[in-house]
A and B are shown apart, each in its own frame.
Chain A
Amino acid sequence: MSDISRRALLQMTAAGALAAGAGIGPVFAEAYKPMLPIEKGASLQLLRWTGFIDADDKQWKANTEAFTKATGVNVTIQDVSWTDIQAKSGLSAQIGSGPDVVMGFYDTPFIYPDKLVDVSDVCTYLEKKYDGFYDVAKSYGYDDKTKTWIAVPMGGPGACVTYRESWLKEAGFDSFPTDFDGMLKAARALKKNNHPIGLALGHAVGDANAWVHTVLWGFGGKQVDENNKVVINSKETHEALKYAKALYETMIPGTGSWLDVNNNQAFLAGQISMTINGISIWYVAKQKFPEMFPDIRTAPVPVGPVGHPTNFNLFSQAFIFKYSKYPNAAKEYLRFMNEAPQVAPWVTGMVGYVTPALKAYSKLPIWTENPNITPYRDVLVGNYADGYAGSPGRAAATALNDFIVVNMFADACAHGASPEDAAKRAEEKLKQIYNA
């Protein structure tokens, strides 16, 4: 039994959402009692990624203002493009100066764990109050070596299938298939009707990584084992690559160079019938493409031969640098921002673009408000972290930054390499990284 009941959560979140809607900020701010003694005269600098949806930034700012009102701690927010976060936070770690709090992606905190404040107290509190973190969220915040939390898991901008319902029905499918075989059959039928699918195979940090890892893991392949030994060149990986090649043949030409933006554009231009993406396509269509919007549906990413979800999503956590003069204020800020009265309007405003890391937030009303939002509620269930099945850290981050797995799939699908050759090339590169 969790410390917070569904009814209590709904009451808190409804109040928060109502308050935010009325433009007066979350009501929780008035009653907020800090858990830690906040340093006198504290002020904070937060480095975060520009919201994928503008409602994200607006509500985050409103929540931050509520924190300032409740605690007197002024917070300056610096928004940068999500792909620039790692460079900026890396520089801060190197020189020991910069933002107090950083919202990063994937396993960034594990590149310099010794430079980060232990946030175990905040995470333990949140875990107890909100039904715990999803497993993948924990793997991005909890350092197994020191048995401490070095980052507070925030949530994942998850990927689901986005498709055109009318075209899928024309192709003979009433709903989107739930397994890899079914997805391939549907893709072939759609292609036959001149409605190809489109999945990014270029250096798309979010989109390409998401689907290729899902396919790799769905067949039982992985880049390293539990001891960080490179095992990518396996029978399972070869099978995954053969499947991806078959799927690639149903795609619109050019996906080999697609970045994160391309599948959104192609879908909204009516050039593709299906892709795997965050909720941004559905959200943008709702606002700006009213003719297409009623035909857009979303569905969970299908399951591979392993028989369970093997999703890989973008994931954001927040960490505090030890050089911060105000670690308690920073911890309080992260706690405050993860409390229900703040999370509810935040997630509601951006229609579930970011799925929160805490399980209790799967009960938020927004998830059932529209059936197309619901699949995004569960994107963190059955997720693996990058570098699976090894431990997070510099090697896993480097492999992801170098697009080793994406390049392997692109080699096999778009560049004419055999699955065996593509896997062998990836194996050589991974060995260089993991043995360095």
Chain B
Amino acid sequence: MKDRAGWRLYLPLGLMLLFLLLPFYWMVLTSLKTRNELLNTPNPWWVFHPSINSFISLLTQTQYPQWFLNTLFVSVGATVLSIVVSFCAAFAIVRLKFRGARVLSTAIFFSYVVPPAILFIPLAAVLVKLHWFDKLWALIPIYATFLVPFCTWLLIGFLRSIPRELEEAALVDGASWPRIMIKVILPLSVPGLISATIFSFTLSWNEYLYALIYMFSSANKTISVGLTTELMRGDVFQWGQLMAGSLLGTLPVVLVYFFFVEYYVAGMSGALKD
């Protein structure tokens, strides 16, 4: 009976794992293959003559290190900005009882579902007025436009799960609202904040459309834009370098998930309870 339960659990899990990890396996394989092995191999699922040439040429013959730093700068900046704004917004909506708070929280969520492809032209008009075109740091507030709505919605759900008695006790003790927010609610919100941080960081790291459209010079390219513009030349793709770049590009996100996955789950489930 126990064995059968194991089968029922591990077979779907195993299939799911295979499905999810296959692209990474393919990415690793391709990045380690030589040019000839990329095109002609008796078994495409294995590397017979592994080589790190693709990694070396990626790091020495392209501007990949610069793209990596740009992506890191923008992702960290956008994440920090979004989390600060979202936490304040969520706190105000959940804890400060004001008329329309409920409607506002729904409206914030709906603003998240507007596709970036629809927003990029009006957003561009705003950037032109502000003279923010081709400024790398401008991507930080731009990314916040789609990060803040979701993070706020997520944190609203999480903050609702924190008992009101805690802040009421603090109020009785004479604490102000800002003090309650920082000293009482913030420490209890860490799982939710980590969840929102991971979400924001991942979306910023992978973003393509805005980075492509709003940045002009080569020095301001992010990884996703750099790889497609420099390594996909018309009908000739540098597959080895492309896969090496994609693999290195996923590492920061993988590391973030690896260390904080439990908080991520806790944060998401806190939001879903709402």
**A contacts, CB < 8 Å to B:** 45, 47, 49-54, 76, 78-82, 84, 87-88, 91, 94-99, 157, 206-207, 260-261, 263-265, 268-270, 277-278, 280, 284, 288
Q: Is the interface of A mostly helix, strand, loop or mixed?
A: mixed
Complex CA–CA separation, A54 to B57 (angstroms): 15
For B229, give its contact among A80, A91, A288 (CB under 8 Å): A80
Known: A81-B229, A82-B234, A264-B236. A91 touches B216 (CB 8 A): no
Complex CA–CA separation, A97 to B129 (angstroms): 10
A280 in contact with B212 (CB, 8 Å): no
The residues of B that contact A268 with a CB separation of less than 8 Å are 39
Q: Top 7 closest A-B pairs, CB basis?
A: A52-B234, A269-B39, A260-B235, A97-B128, A95-B124, A261-B237, A78-B216
A-B contacts, 14 of them at CB < 8 A, read A50-B232, A52-B236, A53-B233, A53-B236, A84-B229, A91-B124, A91-B213, A94-B121, A95-B125, A96-B128, A206-B235, A261-B232, A269-B40, A288-B35
Known: A91-B213, A206-B234, A280-B235. A265 touches B39 (CB 8 A): yes
Complex CA–CA separation, A54 to B231 (angstroms): 10
The residues of A that contact B121 with a CB separation of less than 8 Å are 91, 94-95
Q: Is the interface of B mostly helix, strand, loop or mixed?
A: helix
B217: interface (CB < 8 Å): yes
B176: interface (CB < 8 Å): no
A91 in contact with B233 (CB, 8 Å): no
Q: Which residue of A lies closest to B237 (CB)?
A: A261
The residues of B that contact A76 with a CB separation of less than 8 Å are 216-217
Known: A269-B40, A284-B236. A98 touches B133 (CB 8 A): yes
Complex CA–CA separation, A385 to B262 (angstroms): 58
Complex CA–CA separation, A260 to B233 (angstroms): 10
In chain B, residues 174-212, which have Cβ atoms closer than 8 Å to a Cβ of chain A? Answer: 212
A88 in contact with B39 (CB, 8 Å): no
A84 in contact with B237 (CB, 8 Å): no
Apart from A97-B128, A280-B234, 14 more pairs, CB < 8 Å: A51-B234, A52-B235, A54-B233, A76-B217, A78-B218, A80-B225, A80-B229, A94-B124, A98-B216, A207-B235, A265-B39, A269-B40, A270-B39, A270-B40
The residues of B that contact A264 with a CB separation of less than 8 Å are 235-236
B216 in contact with A51 (CB, 8 Å): no
CB distance from B134 to the nearest CB of A (A): 9
A91 in contact with B235 (CB, 8 Å): no
The residues of A that contact B230 with a CB separation of less than 8 Å are 50, 79
The residues of A that contact B237 with a CB separation of less than 8 Å are 261
The residues of B that contact A96 with a CB separation of less than 8 Å are 128
A78 in contact with B217 (CB, 8 Å): yes
Complex CA–CA separation, A67 to B228 (angstroms): 28
B39 in contact with A51 (CB, 8 Å): no
Complex CA–CA separation, A284 to B228 (angstroms): 19
B109: interface (CB < 8 Å): no
